[in-house]
Structure 1
Amino acid sequence: MDDYAGVSSEFTSVNQYLYHNFDLDETHRELSEMWINISITEMLHMEILAKTIRLLGGNPVYRGSTSSCGAYWNGGFVCYGNSICNRLKLDLHLEHVAINNYYKDISLIEDPYIKAILNRIILDEKLHVSLFEKAIEKYCK
């Protein structure tokens, strides 16, 4: 499942946002807290998806499907960026891709419970979009 550990996945989001936090100097405490908190939410999404994969009889290994041709997840999936503004824009893009992927999945899935799970995750992703947009307004003008 690409949403779990593909190129534009929850696993990629966690690692990308944590890296952006780790490579930040101490003067940007507000950004640091934002990236950490969003990473925690993405970890919760991973847990939800992993449990769902297991309930469906799958094994939640760290690999994608179509986005990575079935390859295992690797650090090359992370967009590291080269400045705060660039990183925020990369993160915003990743959230938009995630939302679009979840909507695509919902259109293909018949199970109403899985659809409900994905719709709930989308709500969080939309909040992340809002947070990144506000940060871009503040730090990229």
Structure 2
Amino acid sequence: MEEKSKLLVNSCDFIGVKPVMADLPYPPIQVKEKNRIYANLLSIDYCGAVSEMTAITQYINNENRLSCERCPVARTILGIAMAEMIHLQKLAELIFLLGGSIDFVARHQDGRQRMWTPEYMTIPENEEKMLMADIEAEKATINQYRMHMKMISDSCVNAVLARIIQDEEYHIMLLQMLRK
């Protein structure tokens, strides 16, 4: 008798997933004047160890690993990743306006330069640890943005960073709810 093989199918549908972010407008993307020091600070937020690039990649990895078994969680994580992509794009615009380079190199004040690497990601083995790593990454991102805001004397740039922080705080709340 011939055995029929069963197809394995991922029934998680990502059509219609939208960025998960605070329902608030972003301030205009503008700067008071070119400032390479500020551009370099934002390059760290763009593609440093604690950065939007790291967050996007970590969220996409987690979403991929959860999609077959935990579709609602995976859909939320994909929506958060999409919001992080918007943050990345807004940072790139600011870096450009400030006279900086958009090339996935984080430029530190001490002269060090480091290209983004997937080594920055945390890849835990289970859902609970994934969510905890994502929460900790969001908290670190908020702390870094606040530190950079203290170093930047451009109210236009700081307004955008403050708005991004609102999304990051919203992400923490959602991730904590997913843990329950």
Aligned position for 2:155: 112
Distance 1:79 1:22 in 2: 14
Matched, 1:43 2:85: yes
Same amino acid, percent of matched pairs = 29
After the TM superposition, which residues 35-114 of structure 1 pair with which residues of structure 2 at under 5 Å, given as runs?
Answer: 35-66=77-108, 69-114=112-157
Report which of the two has the higher share of helix.
1
Quote the offset at 1:32 in angstroms. 0.7
| CA deviation vs aligned residue, 1:68-113 (integer Å, no higher than 9, x gap) | x421011111101111001100000000000000100111110000
Distance 1:25 1:52 in 2: 34
Q: Could you list the runs of 5+ residues in structure 1 that have no partner in the other structure?
A: none
Q: CA RMSD in A?
A: 1.3
Distance 2:85 2:67 in 1: 24
Q: 1:112 to 1:25 in 2, by over 3 A?
A: closer
Aligned position for 2:170: 127
Task: Say which one has the larger Rg.
Answer: 2
Matched, 1:14 2:19: no
Query: How many aligned positions are there?
Result: 136
Q: Give secondary structure in 1 for the equivalent of 2:107.
A: coil
Q: Give secondary structure in 2 for the equivalent of 1:71.
A: strand
Quote the offset at 1:25 in angstroms. 4.6
> Structure 1 length as normaliser, TM-score?
0.92
Quote the offset at 1:26 in angstroms. 1.8
Q: Could you list the runs of 5+ residues in structure 2 that have no partner in the other structure?
A: 1-42
Distance 1:25 1:39 in 2: 14
| CA deviation vs aligned residue, 1:23-61 (integer Å, no higher than 9, x gap) | 125231111111100000000000000010001111111
